[in-house]
Each structure stands twice: as structure tokens, then as C-alpha cells.
Amino acid sequence: MNLEQKNMSLNQRIAEDLKLAMKAKDSIRLSCLRMIRSSSKNLQVEKRRELTDEEIQAVVSSLIRKGKEATKEFRNGNREDLALKEEKEVEIFYEYLPQQLTPEKIEENIRQIISELSAESPKDMGNVMKAAMARMAGQVQGKEVNEIVKKLLTS
């Protein structure tokens, strides 16, 4: 990402990257960017307003989650070719999210949230998840957070 791209909204950056992918005839990147644009447009129509960068990041996170699930299913069905394609798409989607947190950093944040909320058991999971997802929005996948929260509240 160059300095010019840092000053653009995520929507503008996606539009610019779409043009570049067309010129470069990069079909996988083009396909990914079109998926982001299409999903974002659907949400925009639903909300009847322009989306914020955070909302677009949520759309991208959703596409990443679906891509990871598809990769797993393709591997279960012995379709390595399709699994590799999905992995490449997920890799491209990650470029449109902030730097992702490491599992250690996620755990550190969750431990802090658990102590702030005085959470003690699995029944507090909802409150911890809500606070964690708000604090680490765009930097984590919900499934990863869920697994760590579950581990910490049941131990």
C-alpha cells in the first residue's frame, strides 16, 4: 500500500485496485474485488446509505470466513485445485483489512476483557465476545476469538 492509498477510503481503494486488476488482466484479483464490490453494494442498498470503511471491512471479513469454510469443504471432497483457488482469494481479501492480530495478542486482549468484565464462567461468554469483537474489529476473525474465549472461560 503506497502513501496515496492510505489517504483513500476503502471503497476508493477497491475501485482503483479494480481498474489496475483489469489492466493487468489479473483474473483472480479481479474476481475478488468484484465479490467485495457486489457484497458491499448489497449492504449499501440494504442500509440506504454509503458504507463506512468499518462496514466494508466487515463485508471482507465475511468473505474471508466463507472462503476458509469453502477451502475446508473442498479439501474434504479431495478438490485440492479448488481449495488452493479459495486460499488465494482469502489471501487477497486480507489485503483489505487492517493488520491481523496474532493468536497471542488476541488472547492477551481477551484476558484483559475478562478481567475488566469480571467474567468467570462460560455463561459470561456473550458479554466477553461482544466486547472483544468491538475492541478488535477488523483485526480478527470471530471464530478465532470464540475459540480463545471458550478456552479461557472453561479452564
Q: Maximum Cα–Cα distance for the chain, whole Å?
A: 55
131, 81: one domain: no
Domain range for 141 is 103-154
Looking at the fold, whether 76 and 124 belong to one and the same domain comes out as: no
Claim to verify: residue 60 and residue 114 sit in the same structural domain: no
Tell me the pLDDT band of 81, cut-offs 50, 70 and 90.
Answer: very high
The residue out of 74, 94, 114 marking a domain boundary is 94
pLDDT at 3: 41
104-125 pLDDT, tens per residue? 999 999 999 999 999 888 899 9
Task: Tell whether 73 and 107 lie within a shared domain.
Answer: no
Residues in the chain: 155
Q: What's the CATH code of the domain at 132?
A: 1.10.10.410
Q: How far apart are CA 18 and CA 20, in angstroms?
A: 5
Residue type, 7: N
Do residues 90 and 67 make contact, with C-beta atoms less than 8 angstroms apart? yes
What is the model's pLDDT at position 137? 84
129 shares a domain with 70: no
How far is residue 115 CA from its own chain's centroid? 26
Locate all alpha helices (DSSP H) within 25-141, ordered by sequence.
Answer: 27-47, 53-76, 80-94, 103-117, 125-135
